[in-house]
Structure 1
Amino acid sequence: MSSTTKQPPTGAPATAGAGFLARLRPRAAAGTVWYLRLIALLNLVAVLLTPLRNTVRHHSEGEYFTPYLMTTGLATAVLSLFLAVAMRRRKRAAWIFNLGLGGVTFLLYVLALGWPGENHYNQHGFNYFSTVLTGLFMLCLVVSRKEFTSKGDRSNPKMAVATFFGGLVVGGTIGAVLVGFYNTLSGASLGDRFRYAIFRMITIDPSDKVLDVINVPSWLNAFINAMGAVLLLLVIYVAFRSPRGKELLNPEDEERLRELLEKQGERDSLGYFALRRDKAVIFSPTGKAAVTYRVVGGVSLASGDPIGDPEAWPGAIERWLAEAREHAWAPAVMGASEEAGVIYARHGLDALELGDEAIVELDEFSLDGRAMRVVRQAYNRVKRAGYTVRIRRHGEIPEAEMADLLSKADRWRDGQTERGFSMALGRLGDPADGRCVMLECHDAQGELRALLSFVPWGPKGLSLDLMRRDRETENGLMEFMVIELLEKGAAEVDLERVSLNFAMFRSVFERGSRLGAGPVLRLWRAVLGFFSRWWQIESLYRANAKYRPIWEPRYLLFEKSSEIPRIGLASARAEGFITAPSLPALFRRRHPRPTAPVAATAGLPTAERGGKG
C-alpha cells in the first residue's frame, strides 16, 4: 500500500499569524487610549495634590525617569486628554504625533540606561519601570498602526503653526499692555514686557533677565498663564480637527435624487428635504439609493430616511459610514423612521426616540364631533372675520407675485436667523420646486396676512416646510389655513395626506398625564414642562394633537452614547439654534432670488412654524 502524507497548505502559519495580529490590533489601539487617559488623570491629580506633584517633580529633575507624558503639568494633562480623544477616533495625525514624541522619549531612556561610564540612572528600578511602560506604549502604537486610518484636514499643520505664532503675538501684546499698567517697578521696556508675557505663556516661569524690572500682581500672572493654556487648547484642536465636508449637492446629484424621489418619494415625508443644497450625498453602488448629510463640527449629520429603494439602502449606508470613519466624523441621523432605524441598527447605530410626526389622512379628517369643538369654533371665528385661503402650486404663481410673497415672508420672520435642516427645504420660490404648494391667506380687505408652504410627499402627499404670518392677525389663523387645506386639498391639488409639525417627546406628555403614570415619567414630564416656557415643547404637542393625527415616531441614531452631546450641539448648529454672528450674514438676503441656486438654510423659528425643523 502506498501512503501519502498530507502537507499543511503553504502559507497557513502566516495566515494564522495574520489573523492573530488582526485580532490584536484593536486591543493594542485601545491600550494606547487607556494609557493616555490614565496619564491625563495622574497629571490632573498631581496638579491638585501637592505631595504627588512634588514627588513626580523630584523624580523628573533628579535621577529618575517618569513614563511618557507624565509631568504633573496641567498643560500635559490637557494634551494627554486631547490625544486620547483623537486616538479613540483613530486619527492618524495623533498616531504620528505619539509615535514621534514617544519614540524620542523611549530612545533617550534606553540610551540613558545603557550609557557607558558613571551615571546613576541605571541604579534605580523605577527608571526601568518607566522605560518598560513607555516601550509597551510604543509597541502598542506599532502593532495598531493599521487601526489609525482617519484622515485629518491637509491644512491642519499649517493652521496649527499659524495659530501658535498668531496666539503668541496676540497674547504677548495683551500681556505687555497689562504688565505696563500694573508693573510696580521701573525700567522695563516694551520688549521686556512682551518677553515677560511670552515666557509666562509658554513656560509659566518668566525669564530671569526681566525679573529685576517687572513685578506684577499674582492674578495677572495667572491670567497670562490662562492665555497660554487657551492657546495650547486651540493649537491642539486645530492640529487634530477632522476635515470639514466640502462637497455639496451639485446639479447632477440633485437630478439623480429627484429621479429617486419620483420612484420612491412616497415612502418618507421628509424625502424632499434631501434636496437642500447645503447637503452632500452618497449613493449606493447600484445608484438606487442615497444618503444625504451635512458635516457640522466633526459630525456627519444625515436627516430622514435614505432616498430610493429600501433594498439598496444598506449599500448607501455602508458607504456613508465608511466615509465618516475615514475622516473621524461621528455618524448620526436626525428624524429617521422606524423602518430606516432598523436598517441603521444593523450597521451598528443605536436609536433614541426624539418624538412623533403628526400625519393627517384627508379621508379620515372631520370637524364634526365634540372632540373637535374648540378647533371648529376657532375656524368659524376666523372665517366670519372674512379671511380666505388660496391654494396653488409654486409653478402656477407668476414671478412678480412670487417676489412679493418672498418679500413679505422675510418681513414676517421672527429674528435674523434662518432655522431648519432636517425638516426644512432651505429655499422658497426656486423654479425647480414647482410642485411645492403655497397657501396664501388674505383678510377681508384682500391683504395678504399669512403663508404656508408645503413640499411634495410622493404624488398625493404634502409635508409642511414653511409657516409665516403677520403678527397683528387673528389668533387661530394658522389653524384656519391648515383646515382649509385638509377640507379642500383633495379637490385643489389632488391631495390624500399631509405631514404637519413634529412634536418632540410627545409620548412623555401623553403618557405622563395619564392616571397611574410612574414617578420617573411624571418627573420627566415636569422637567419638559419647565423648559417649554422657552422652547414651547408641550405647546407644539398640543397644537398638533388638535387635528387628531396619526403619530409616526422619529428617531435619533448614533454610534456611541458618548457622542450624544457632540451630536446634539451639531444638530443645534445645523438647525440654526446656535449661530456665530458674521458681517456677511447680516447683509445677506433672507431668501435668494428664485432664479439663482441657493445654499443658505431656511425655515422658521420653532415658535412660528410649529417645530418641524
Structure 2
Amino acid sequence: MTSGVRADRPTTAAVEGRFARFRGRRVARVVTWAARVAGLLTVLSILTPLLRKRLQPATWFGLPPEATLVGTVVVATLGIGLMMLATGLRRRKRRAWQLAVAACVLLIASHVVGRHALVPTVVVAVLLVGLLLTRREFTALPDPVGPLAAVRVVVQMLVGGFATVLLLLLVRPSLLVGPPTLEDRLAHAGLSLVGVSGPVRFAAGWFDDLTAVLGLTFGVAAVVLGGYFLLRSVEPRPALSEEDGARIRELLARHGRADSLGYFALRRDKSVVFSPTGKAAVAYRVVAGVALASGDPLGDLEAWPGAITEFLATCRRYGWVPAVLGCSEAGARVWLREGGLDALELGDEAVVDVATFSLQGRSMRTVRQAVSRIRRAGYETTVRRLRDVPADELAALRDLVARWRGGPAERGFSMALSRVADGDADPEAVLVVATAEGEVRGVLQFVPWGTEGLSLDIMIRDPTVPENGLNELLIAELLGACRGLGVDRVSLNFAVFRSALERGEKIGAGPVARLWARLLRTASRWWQIETLYRFNARFGPAWVPRFLVFDAVRDLPRIAVAAFEAEGYGGRPPALLRLLRRT
C-alpha cells in the first residue's frame, strides 16, 4: 500500500527487529491458515460422507453404538475449535498455541478410535508437527481474567441449557412415553448438551427435536463463548497513574511544542510506555484488542525509537494490534523506519497562524458576517486561562456541559482531553465562554500546545440556541485574545479525508476521485466529515497532514472498529461491552 511517507534508512537494530517481526508474522500466518484448513477438513469429513474413510470401527474397542455419535460431536467441536483458535494463533497467543496442540492430539486420537477421514488426520498431524516446531514464536500473554471468565461463561451456558431441557421434560409429561424416572430425565438433559439422545422416549416427535436442538444449542454456545473469553486479548482497565501523568507533564514541559496532540496524552483513560532512557513515551488505549496511540511519541525526538520499540514489544507481549491515529509526517516516518509499519493519510489538521489572522478581507466575509450577526443578538464572550476562573464557576460549567451532552457519552479520543473546566489538572488550558442575557450559551476549551500554542479540545453549545455563528464568534474572540495570552498558533478541528474531498471537486477530477468524494459527502450526514472541513476552511488555516499508522492491511477493519469506538462513534455493541466489563 502506498504510505504517502518515505522512511529514512533504518538502523541495524531496526532492521533486525523488523526481520524478527516479519518472520514471526510469516510463521503465524502459515500456522493460522493450516489450523483453518485442518478444522474445515475435519468438519467436512463428518458432514460429507464421500470424504470419509473408515480407519477402525468403534465396536472393535468394545464401545457401545452411541460412542460413534459422541465421537462425531467431539470431532466436530474440535474442528470448529481449531478454526476459532486460528485468530489467536495469528496474534501469536501462547494459550491459543497450547489449546491448538491439545485439539490436534485429541483429533488424531478421535480419528483412530472413530470413523473419520484419512486426509484430515494427515493434515492435523502436519499441523501438530508445525506447532511443536514453531512453539517459540507464540509468546503473547493471555488475558489475566480470561480463564475465570471462560469457565464462568461455560458453566452458566451448560447449566442454563441443562435446566431448560430438564424443565421441559418435567412440565410436559404427557408428551413422554411412560413415566420416566427423575434420573432418566436428568441423564437425558445432560446428554442433550452434546447432541446425544438420552433414555427418555417421546410420544411427540417435535418435542424430541425441540429438546435436542435446545440442548445442543446451549452446548455449542458454551464452547464458542468460552473460547472467545479464553482467547480474547487483554483489555486493561484504562487509567493513567499519577506517577505516569507527572512524567508525561515533564516531557511536555520540555518538548510540548513539537506536537499539537501531545497534551491529549494526559487523558485519564490512557496507558503509557516509556523509552529505556525515560526521555520519550507513547500513550495509548486498548480497544477491542487494538492498542491505539494518538499523535507523535512524546519527548525527545532522538529517544522516539526506544519508545516505539517498547510500545511494539508490549503489543507483541499481549497480542494487541498496534495502530497510531493522527501522527504527523515526521512521526509517521519514524514509525515506518523503526517499527516497519505502514502509513495511510488520514486527513488534515487546521492550524491558524495568529500573527496573520484577520477578519478583514473578502475571504473572511462569511466569518465576519456571522460574528457581526451574533454580536448584534446580544452575545458577549470571555477568554481566560482556567487558573484565572473561580472554582465555583468552573463547577457550574462542568455541570452545564454535562447537561448539554445529555449523558456521560463523549466523542473524541485523539484530539479530546475527556474532561472540561478542571482547573486543578489543566490550569494552563484556555476557556472561551459566550453568554446572552446572563446565561452561558457556548463553551470552547483549548489545551496547551507547548508554551506558545493552543489546541482545540471541546466545542459545545446550548442545543436550544437558534442563532448560527456562535462557534465562529468564539473562535474569532479566542484568536483575537491570543496575543495577550502569549499564543502564536492555534490548532482547530481535524478534517478527516480533507484532501480527498478537495480533489473530488477539482475540474478534471477522475471518476474514482469524484466517487470517493461523493461517498464522503454521503457519510457526512452522520459523521460531519465535510462539515468540519468547510468550517475549518473559513479561518484560512494551514493544512497539516495527519496519518494512520498500522501493521498490516488485514488489520484495518479491526482498527476502524476500535477507532470508531474510542472516538465515540460506535464500535462493539453496548451489550457486549457490558458483558466484558462484568467479566
In structure 2, the partner of 1:490 is 483
In structure 1, the partner of 2:521 is 529
CA contact (8 A) 2:42 2:79 kept: yes
Distance in 2 (CA, whole Å) between partners of 1:520 and 1:30 is: 33
Closer/same/farther in 2, CA of residues 27 and 171 from structure 1, 3 Å limit:
same
Does residue 86 of structure 1 match 2:78? no
Aligned with 2:129 (options 139, 142, 153): 139
Closer/same/farther in 2, CA of residues 446 and 24 from structure 1, 3 Å limit:
closer
Structure 1 residue 159, shift from structure 2 partner = 2.5
CA contact (8 A) 1:179 1:216 kept: no
CA displacement 1:433-486 (0-9 Å, x = unmatched): 10000011111x232211111100011111111122112322110111101111
CA contact (8 A) 1:31 1:140 kept: no
**Counterpart residue type for residue 296 of structure 1:** V
Structure 1 residue 246, shift from structure 2 partner = 4.7
In structure 2, the partner of 1:407 is 399
Between the two proteins, the alignment pairs up a number of residues equal to: 542
Let me know the Cα RMSD of the aligned residues.
3.4
**Counterpart residue type for residue 449 of structure 1:** R
Does residue 302 of structure 1 match 2:298? no
Distance in 2 (CA, whole Å) between partners of 1:353 and 1:22 is: 24
CA contact (8 A) 2:175 2:202 kept: no
**Counterpart residue type for residue 362 of structure 2:** R
In structure 2, the partner of 1:342 is 333
Aligned with 2:429 (options 433, 436, 440): 436
Closer/same/farther in 2, CA of residues 23 and 340 from structure 1, 3 Å limit:
closer
Distance in 2 (CA, whole Å) between partners of 1:359 and 1:26 is: 39
In structure 2, the partner of 1:117 is none
Closer/same/farther in 2, CA of residues 309 and 183 from structure 1, 3 Å limit:
farther
Structure 1 residue 366, shift from structure 2 partner = 1.9
Distance in 2 (CA, whole Å) between partners of 1:179 and 1:559 is: 54
1:338-487 aligned at under 5 Å gives the runs 338-346=329-337, 347-430=339-422, 431-443=424-436, 445-473=437-465, 474-487=467-480
TM-score where L is the length of structure 1: 0.80
In structure 2, the partner of 1:277 is 268
Task: Report the 3-state secondary structure (helix = DSSP H, G, I; strand = E; otherwise coil) of the residue aligned with 1:209.
Answer: coil
CA contact (8 A) 1:439 1:453 kept: yes
Distance in 1 (CA, whole Å) between partners of 2:247 and 2:49 is: 62
CA contact (8 A) 1:26 1:144 kept: no
Closer/same/farther in 2, CA of residues 98 and 499 from structure 1, 3 Å limit:
same
In structure 1, the partner of 2:538 is 546
1:138-287 aligned at under 5 Å gives the runs 138-176=128-166, 185-186=175-176, 196=188, 198-200=190-192, 202-211=193-202, 215-216=206-207, 221-222=212-213, 224-246=215-237, 248-287=239-278
Range with greater deviation from structure 2 (319-328 or 23-32): 23-32
Distance in 1 (CA, whole Å) between partners of 2:569 and 2:184 is: 46
Structure 1 residue 310, shift from structure 2 partner = 1.0
CA displacement 1:471-522 (0-9 Å, x = unmatched): 232211011110111122212x111111111111111211111111111111
CA displacement 1:38-83 (0-9 Å, x = unmatched): 1233356567xx6x3454385686799xxxx998976444312211
- Among the aligned pairs, what percent are the same residue? 42
Task: Report the 3-state secondary structure (helix = DSSP H, G, I; strand = E; otherwise coil) of the residue aligned with 2:514.
Answer: helix
Please list every run of 5 or more consecutive structure 1 residues that lacks an aligned counterpart in the other structure.
1-20, 113-119, 586-613
Structure 1 residue 424, shift from structure 2 partner = 0.8
Task: Report the 3-state secondary structure (helix = DSSP H, G, I; strand = E; otherwise coil) of the residue aligned with 1:363.
Answer: coil
Task: Report the 3-state secondary structure (helix = DSSP H, G, I; strand = E; otherwise coil) of the residue aligned with 2:547.
Answer: strand
Structure 1 residue 205, shift from structure 2 partner = 3.6
TM-score where L is the length of structure 2: 0.84
Distance in 2 (CA, whole Å) between partners of 1:185 and 1:100 is: 42
In structure 1, the partner of 2:66 is none
Please list every run of 5 or more consecutive structure 2 residues that lacks an aligned counterpart in the other structure.
1-19, 61-70, 579-583
CA displacement 1:66-114 (0-9 Å, x = unmatched): xxx998976444312211111121111122122234345557878x8xx
In structure 1, the partner of 2:52 is 56
